[in-house]
Each structure stands twice: as C-alpha cells, then as structure tokens.
Amino acid sequence: MKCLQRQPEMSRSQELQRYARSQKVVNMNVKLLGMEGDPDLQFLLQGGDLLKVRSSSWKKTRYYRLQEDCKTMWHESKKTFKTKQTFSIDDISAVRMGRQSEGLRKNTEEQVDGRCFSIFFKSRRKNLDLIASSEEEAKQWVNSLQKIVSSINKLSSQQKAEHWILSCLVKADKNKDEKLSLSEMKNFLRLINLEVDDEYAEILFKKCDTSNSGYLSGKEIEHFYDLLTHREEIDVIYGEYAKTTGFMSPDNLVEFLMKEQREKTTLADAYKIIEKHEPDEKAKEKKVLSKDGLIMYLHHPDTLVLNPDHKDVYQDMGQPLNHYFISSSHNTYLMEDQLKGPSSTEAYVRALLKGCRCVELDCWDGSDDEPVIYHGYTLTSKILFKDVIKAIKEYAFKTSDYPVILSLENHCSVEQQEVMARHMSSILGSALVTSPLGEGMPTDFPSPEDLKGKFLIKGKRLNKLEASFAAEAAAADDTDVTEEEESNDEDEQKEEEKKKKLKLAKELSDMVIYCKSVHFHSFEDARKNQSFYEMSSFKEGKAVNLAEESANAYVHHNVDKLSRIYPAGTRTDSSNYNPVPLWNAGCQIVALNFQTNCTDMDVNQGRFLINGKSGYILKPAYMRDAATEFDPITLTRGEWLKHKTLHVMVISAQQLPKVNDKKSSIVDPVIKVEVYGVPADVAEKETNYIENNGFNPTWNESFQFDVYVPELALVRFLVEDYDSTSDNEFVGQYTLPFNSLKMGYRHVPLFNKNGDRLPSAGLFVHIMVVDAE
C-alpha cells in the first residue's frame, strides 16, 4: 500500500484548508488515509454490481460503492421505503474470499467458490454474502476492502476524530459549495452531538465570519474548527509546566511526567518524546514541546489509562493450567437466544477472535451419520460437528497462541461418537492432545506455555487416566457413564431422564486427558477421591451459593482442580450472570454467553484485556497456595489485604456518539465509575449530567474509592445518556484491571455494546492510587 508519512495535527489544518479552498471532498479523505493514487481505493469509489445472496432462491444484483468520506459503503436497494442503504467500514470485522460463510456454502454451488466473498461485521448484523462476475473481480473487491479497513484501523485516535469531523462538515454542506451558512453550521453541530441555542450559534458564527459574507469559508472554517476543538483543560495543564517562553522544555516535560504521570523519565526520554510527537517543525528544531505536541503525546496508545507493559503477554505462563482464569464461552454455537435462535460456526469464530479459550459443543446424532451441534430439545438450528471443528481449527490461534479447550456436551450414539473422534483426529491432527505430555503418569497440569497451539478435550472418560499406564490394562468392558453426570454439564432435564445411562465410545473417551468431567458431591469428596484432572461443572446458582457460604473451601478446591461455571437454564434469552464472585472463589472457567451484550460481558472483556489478550490470566499467588486462608467474604488479614485508595477525577469527554441516528437527538452524558472485586471493594459513583453536549462535555468531578484486594479488582468507566423519565441509555464503556491503571492525566478509550473500540470517542481523567493510611 502506498502510505504517506502522516503528522495528524498538521494534517488537520491542511485538510481544513483544502476543504475550504474547494478541493474535492474525496481527495481530502484520501490524503488523510495515505492512499493517494491507490488503484484499490479508486476501484471502491467507482463501485460495481455484485450478486447478493440471501438464500438459494434469493439472489439479486445490487450496486455497491465507497462514498466520498472514504469510510461508508453505499448499496442500491429496491425497497421503496428503505432508509439505511449504508454501512460503515469501521463496522467490518473481516472480508473473506470464497464460500467461507454458512450462507454461501448452503446456497451456492462449489464451482462459483472463486467468485464468492463475504463481509463479516463486528455486531450482530448478518454477514453480507456476495458473488462477483469473475474470480479476478472478486479478488479485487476483497483486496480493496481489506486495504481500506486496514488503513482506517491504522489511523490514530486524533486522525480518526479528524476524519469524523471532516465527514460531518461534508454532510452539513447541503448545497456542496464548500461553504457553511448559519443553518448549515447548526446542522453540523447537531451531527457532532452538540446542541446550542440560536443566540449562541449566531454569536459563534459572527465571531468566525470575519468577511461579513454570511457564510464561512477559507480560514474562517479553520478558525471555527479551532474554537470548537479547543480544550481548556489542556490549556491549564500545559500552562502549569510550559515555563520556557510559552513552550515545554525537556526539563519541563520531565517534571510533568514524573510529578503528574508518575513516570520514571530521563532527559533523553523527553527529547525522544519531542522528536516523535511534536508536529511543529520549528518547535521540534528548538527541542521544545508545544500544546499540540502534548495533546498528540497524551493520545498515543502507550500513554492511555491502560499500562502499556500489560498489553503483551507479561505474566508467567509456565504455571499449571488450573492456576489461571480462562476466558470461556457457554453454548458457543448460538448467535442469539437459547430456544429458537440460529446456530452458526460464525459464533465460534467471533468468540475465538475475542480471545475465548474454552468453547462448548452440544453434540447430537444427525442425519447421514454426521453429528450435529444445537441446543437439544429446542428450535435452535443445527450445524454440522465437522464444520464447527474446521472453523475452530482455522481461527483458534488468530488472537492467542495458548490452548483451546473443547467442552463436549455429548448426547450422541456410540456410532456417531466414533465419527466425532475421527473428525477431531483428522482435522485437528497433531494439535489435539491425545496423551499426557512427557513420560509417565502426570501428577499436575501442564502449563499454557507447554500447551501452546494445542487443543484439549473436556468430556466424559470411561476410566481413570492412570488405567492407561497400568502394565496389564485391559480394554474397558463398561462403556456406560451416567446421564446424571452428563446433565451436570447441561441445563436441567426431566428427572427421569437423568437416570439414563449413556454409552461412551472408547475412541472419544481416550481423547479426554486433562479435563475429565465428573459429578461434584462435596469439597471433601473431591479432595479424597478426585484426581487433579477430574473437574466438575457448576450451574451458576450452586456456584454462587458455594462462593458465598464456603468461599475458602472453594478457593482451596480450585488450587488443585479446575471448575467450570455455566448459566442457569432459565436464562433462555442468553442473559448472563456476574462472573466476579466466581473469580473471587478461584473458579477458572466461568462460561458466559458471548453473543449477549451486557455489563457482565464488559467485565469479562476487562478481565482478559491484558496479558496479550491471551485468554489466560494468572491467579494471585494466594489463590494458588494449598495452605491459603484467603476468604473473599470475610477478608481476614493476609498477603491479599493491600488497602489502596483510588482517586479519580473525571475531567472531560470527547466525540461521544449519538445513541440513535435522529439528527435532533443529542446526548446528555453522565459518567459512572464502578469498582468490581471482593464485596468490600464493590462501589459506584457518578457525575452530574451535562445537557445537550456529547462533543466536548466537561465535569471536573472527583471521586475516591477504597480498594482492599487490588489484585482481584476491576475499574469500569461507563458513559450513559441521562434520562429523567426512564433508564439511562448506554453510550460506551471501558473496563480494566485495577493493577493495570496508569496514574496521572490519561485518556480512556471507549468500547461500544459489542466490545469494539469507538473510533474517536474517549474520556479524559486524572488517576491517583495511594497506600491507605
């Protein structure tokens, strides 16, 4: 790709001038993306006809092209009242060549594979399945779309904000004369989520209309932009430390970084920061940092609220597997609810790409001797077991290299269990663990590091693992396991069904090495009779009761064994439960419905945000100690008690999105700061709401929290649209571990309901953590 050396702050000014000097809108955005003269971009801007596929009988030609903002795809629609004929490039998660979607595999013939491609979205939006007129054209579409997605993803937060504001300027300019009238300026302000009264709008307009022409153009638009994006809070910070002729010298910068940001910094570091982030060449030559340079620095990914040292794998990955919290999904195959929604291999792809390391496969007999996966005794659709294994194989290690656990819910006949075993063996190959690592009978779990790139099977086993090491071990005659044990892994069935026996195929049984499913009777029974590799699954209600009433015993149990928690069967809407109390009890595999957007999934994402998004988080040392006295409920004194005081000042927000597409709908933002952890640490505080300003609201409100067990605590920043008559509406959020907070003045990125980054939105806060007296 042809890329330019981009300096965002200079680019902002240059692009506004281009806009005001009647340059074509598309050139402005092409420059920003660094794709001048790129043939792939020109191809998308020109667009073309594609065959859209919805079913075997619904295949219709539609025209697709990239709009002038270079971030929105438009498509033709034959519906008379179709209002939304666009989708954002930001919403695309992947573009895949060939018949890779279930829809294309089901509704097209194999001979058109080379002409097919699919656009997959980050949200619940259905895949867009398309067929080009030739293989060459299909490749052109795929390559071009992948390139524009990559280019937009590479933009900094500052550049994305600039791109968004420029796009709103273009939309507001109704007559396309590259000038802004007063009414167009008001329209622009509403587009960027800012409502001002007519009197203030006229004052602002007259202040910028220095030519008294009745419209803004040229430098006037640039002045208007500067007034709009001016950040007084940055002025205050900069003024405190810019003590050298109005600029920050390297010494001033060191003082700021050490005093405010709590960063160990040298003069050499300060010079590097100026060289890297200062956009003004004259200031850079003088070795000073301007206010724009400070803003650029504070927006850099490594200076945000998340400790950059925690972004990559930094924890010890050589501990036994059960010493980690493991990102886990329940009924992974479901895209929606538990009763009638669709099952899809895409659900596995999405979970794995989010770092999930334990996926569930609900297996039943299918036609033509092919096992299927669906939610038994419901109207959910069925997908082939072998297609799921293929999808898992392809996407298991895209986000994380660490092991994936396949949690089998086996309801199949012996014959189809044998088919399952053959599919897993042939598709997963040597990556499937079918015998203990090393020589001899193991006495403990291998580590995630030992199991990199490997698959583990969780399920029933006919005998103890030790039996396979017996010198004269005979073939097992008993092929039965009780349905009662099996139903412990699943939603409750009728009482009489629990007592059935399930025949188990030896080929499948032998694949279960480190995760043998057994029924839980009591902690004492588990201690006396369970081997380390034998694990139990707990329905959320039972698990929560144990975590509240026998917390220390549960922590002890999880020092030696693995525990899996799953949602209650009554959650037919695929709602979730709070995973935090179960993590507090040391439970490793706390399975959630990944398809459901909710606070619980936000917290889960925050827990696994760090350590390279590997899906494995090392439990605190006191939760790995066989002699631990840790009890999250009573909090007796011990090494876990490290009382800290968290000070948070919520200063401002930038470019918050609208909660709906109505032009007149302006956000009234309110910020909530929440702490999750042991019961003593749970707290929530909120700011006042700001009326009609989602663009640049300011609060300067301070909060204080007591945190007693920091290693288990999480902090969540939540933005809502205030409503006095009904529940507030979700705008965005960001959750991270308490121990991953950076101190000082920090920008906080925001995620949407789906857990994806909002391109230009964020908070600006001041964080301080001190030892409590």
Enumerate the active-site residues: 330, 375
- Residue 437 and residue 488 in contact, taking contact as beta carbons nearer than 8 Å: no
Direct distance between the N- and C-terminal alpha carbons of the chain, in angstroms, rounded to an integer: 56
How far is CA 506 from each of CA 294, 427, 476, 489, 687, rounded to the nearest angstrom? 65, 19, 8, 20, 61
Query: What are the Cα distances from residue 642, in Å, to 315, 551, 627?
Result: 20, 19, 19
Q: How far is CA 337 from the centre of its chain?
A: 21
Beta partners for 406? 359, 457
Distance of CA 574 to the CA centre of its chain: 18
Helix (H, G, I), strand (E, B) or coil at 770: strand
Instruction: Determine phi and psi for 44, rounding to 5 degrees.
Output: -70, -40
Burial level of 194, CB count in 10 A (0-12/13-18/19+)?
buried
Give, as one character, the DSSP assignment of residue 381.
-
The DSSP output letter for 289 is B
Q: Quote the CA–CA distance of 292 and 254 in Å, as a whole number.
A: 17
Alpha-carbon gap, residue 711 to 690, rounded angstroms? 34
Handedness of CA 186, 189, 191, 196 (dihedral sign): negative
Torsion of CA 231, 237, 240, 241, to 10 degrees: -110
- Per the CB < 8 A criterion, the answer to whether 510 and 539 are in contact is no
**Three-class secondary structure of residue 494 per DSSP:** coil
- Is the four-CA dihedral 310, 314, 319, 320 of positive or negative sign? positive
E-assigned strand segments in 567-682: 589-592, 616-618, 644-654, 669-676
The span from the CA of 357 to the CA of 355, in Å, is: 6
Distances in whole angstroms, Cα of residue 396 to Cα of each of 198, 328, 347, 442: 55, 13, 12, 26
Q: Tell me the C-alpha distance between 157 and 162, whole Å.
A: 9
What lies within 8 Å, CB to CB, of 494 at 6+ separation is none
Amino acid found at 127: N
Compute the half-sphere exposure of residue 409: CA atoms within 13 Å on the CB side of its CA: 24
Strand bridging mode 729-737 / 563-566: unpaired
Buried b (16+ CB within 10 A) or exposed e, 608-630: bbbbbbbbbbbbbebbbeeebeb
8 Å CB contact between 295 and 7: no
Q: Measure CA 679 to chain center.
A: 26
Cα distance between residue 669 and residue 342, in whole Å: 36
CA angle 102, 108, 113 (to 5 degrees): 90
